Amino acid sequence: MPATLSQSEIEERVVILRRFREALLRRRERFSRYIEMLERQAPGETSTDQIEIHVEMEQAIIHEIASFEQVIEPLQLMYREHDPDGAADLPHLKTAFERTRNQVLRHTIRSRELLKQEISSLRSEISSLRIMRRNQSLYAIPEPTAVDISA
């Protein structure tokens, strides 16, 4: 048997729902600004350390978005029950999160490719240094030469 809520409890839930919705909107805006910053940044401008930081941030954003996406459906149900007018933009919010997640995933793939290229370049450089070192050993003893001691 469903429990009936008093009007004050319903109003309290509506306030909580609205606050949560606002938090989702702010978070979506923050993700969008991050995506715009990545779009403006030229691929050659970033260092390996910056790329690593970007990958870590992008992974954190993807996890956050996944958490929000899990909450949006129950949030819509609660809105429909207690505040039907407040649920109008939730489908758009869900779509925006999906779009943002896809953009972040594309950037993560690009960043990982840049890191792989950098690692490959470093490995090649290390390999060439090893070859040079082998050819010019610091510890190589020169062959003795014939010295004329009869003089």
With vertex at residue 35, the alpha carbon angle to CA 30 and CA 41, rounded to the nearest 5 degrees, is 130
Q: What is the pLDDT of residue 2?
A: 52
116 has pLDDT over 80: yes
Q: Is the pLDDT of residue 137 over 60?
A: no
147 versus 83: which is more confidently predicted? 83
The mean per-residue pLDDT over the stretch 134-144 comes to 59
pTM of the complete model beyond 0.75: no
Calculate mean pLDDT across residues 110-137: 80
pLDDT, residue 101, reads 83
Q: What is the mean pLDDT of residues 14-27?
A: 81
Alpha helices in the chain (DSSP H): 7-40, 48-82, 90-135
Residues 136, 82: Cα–Cα separation, whole Å: 79
Question: Above 80 in pLDDT, residue 147?
Answer: no
- 98 pLDDT more than 50: yes
Helical axes 90-135 vs 48-82, angle rounded to 10°: 160
Structure confidence at residue 144 (pLDDT): 58
pLDDT category of residue 86 using cuts at 50, 70 and 90: low
For the segment 34-72, what is each residue's pLDDT rounded down to a tens digit? 877 777 766 566 677 777 887 888 888 888 888 877 877
pLDDT value at residue 1: 41
